[in-house]
Structure 1
């Protein structure tokens, strides 16, 4: 694969602050960002995309919602997000957090999958629980690799982007080795204790139900009855833990299914709208534009 330096790449350095970016690098192949957030910072956008993402938490704590499960991540947590997986972070115990984010373009990452570890690297991103908890010594090694990446980006010597890609590949192999260990620690909702555990389990059950029954209309009264909880409490904890409202999450499930139909079938848009749970095609098109920034028709054309 051609890894020539992208002409439009940029590097920025910012001083540490309670709310800001320490480091950012964008190229045609990947994006890197180290940032801190404080207060009640929440991801404001609805999140799924065709790039592969790696999220490394250095300080603080977060809820991390992936597809239909919520996790509690703490310093040393390394999260792998495959393409088009629904995901979002939201505040947990501490509002301050410090994280390093890596996004790698689909074609680049899938080329790396083909080249390394007989394709097994892809399991980092496709397993249901794609989260690793690093030991103190593993964090030290990973932090050193990230510092090397930042130094390369800052100096911008000849072939610096190729060197960064080499370091990113090293990081993936290092992570895969940890995942493959028998004693690798995996994060699950069982990380929580007591009432917190039950809250996460309830939200995960509701998310799973909505993902499996996305075509159907669901009232809050119906959901609260199904899951034996107060509808106002359910609304609050679902938003707190996933970062999405129940309606937003259901819309995303429906839009993802609609995208699949648009890519793989010749069905009329009106029929696709009905198949994914929208009775009104105008409303379907409005929601589709909200999440995809283009009409269903334009999306279908772009995928040919």
Structure 2
């Protein structure tokens, strides 16, 4: 899950269980969500005030007051600074949370997960819907702060109400067009897309620089500056995400999976996988099979 480095005053409150987390934060000063991550939780991010830059999958989005961000499981993302102050709500939940709270009603579960399948992961709420959503967010914040008897159950009920509300909003609203703010953001999106499409190949900065007519130094600096990731961080995360799918969905030997996702040695694959997932590939496969 996300960690944020901060320099300045802030206020927070939250509530967490194994399959569920909701967290409110108000930040003053420089804040850098510099821990890059993808995870097996769904993530819903709502900006109550201020501005943020959010790198999601392969491009940067400027997030403004009233914007909802939907992060599916295993999508690479990172928040970046865009101003001296912001206030946000963050919700993580696993499939098991929805299974439990919806009584394993597949139709309802699929409905509240629909917004996480959007091509554009940001929903800019209209004023009326924003007021209704914020009323629910502030009820959740108040419950987490006061911790009155039964607050845990009430928070979950409010979260389910919120998920249904935002699913309705997403269903009614067409996907917004988010233009690139600078030519460099567009170029980094092109580079990210190229990496995602060619991660199986032995990609290097030198090859990318030739492909995009940029010096290796300039490409490396710009990619890091815009996305928050180094080239090798981004490439490895894409490869590890694909490896997770193969470990879960196939019986292929680990050495073959390492080769299929672009690693030249199974030793390097195992090292990078453990750094990213905190489990070895074999441990990850065993855990996924226990869960299913």
Q: Is TM > 0.5 for Structure 1 vs Structure 2?
A: yes
Deviation at 1:284, TM superposition (A): 1.2
208-217 vs 144-153, greater mean Cα deviation? 144-153
**Residues 42 and 89, structure 1, Cα contact 8 Å, conserved in 2:** yes
Correspondence 1:206 to 2:191: yes
5+ residue gaps, structure 2: 1-6
Matches within 5 A, 1:142-157: 142-157=133-148
**Residues 263 and 269, structure 2, Cα contact 8 Å, conserved in 1:** yes
Aligned to 2:214: 229
5+ residue gaps, structure 1: 1-16
**Residues 55 and 80, structure 1, Cα contact 8 Å, conserved in 2:** yes
Matches within 5 A, 1:1-304: 18-92=8-82, 94-109=83-98, 112=102, 114=105, 119-182=110-173, 186-188=176-178, 190=179, 192-193=180-181, 196=182, 198-304=183-289
How well do the aligned residues superpose, as a CA RMSD in angstroms?
A: 2.4
Deviation at 1:158, TM superposition (A): 4.0
**Residues 24 and 141, structure 2, Cα contact 8 Å, conserved in 1:** no
Distance 1:125 1:110, change over 3 A: farther
Listed one character per residue, the Cα deviations across residues 137-176 of structure 1 (whole Å, up to 9, x for unaligned) are: 4333222211111222234344322222221122122212
Distance 1:278 1:185, change over 3 A: closer
Deviation at 1:23, TM superposition (A): 1.3
**Residues 42 and 243, structure 1, Cα contact 8 Å, conserved in 2:** no
TM-score, length basis structure 1: 0.83
Deviation at 1:219, TM superposition (A): 2.3
Deviation at 1:115, TM superposition (A): 5.9
**Residues 254 and 276, structure 1, Cα contact 8 Å, conserved in 2:** yes
225-234 vs 164-173, greater mean Cα deviation? 225-234
**Residues 71 and 187, structure 1, Cα contact 8 Å, conserved in 2:** no
Deviation at 1:264, TM superposition (A): 2.4
SS at match of 2:31: coil
Separation in 2, partners of 1:287, 1:256: 11
Distance 1:42 1:222, change over 3 A: same
Deviation at 1:271, TM superposition (A): 1.9
Separation in 2, partners of 1:110, 1:123: 15
Tell me how many residue pairs correspond in the alignment: 281
Listed one character per residue, the Cα deviations across residues 91-140 of structure 1 (whole Å, up to 9, x for unaligned) are: 23x24332211111221235649466583332201112121112344333
SS at match of 2:79: strand
Deviation at 1:39, TM superposition (A): 4.5
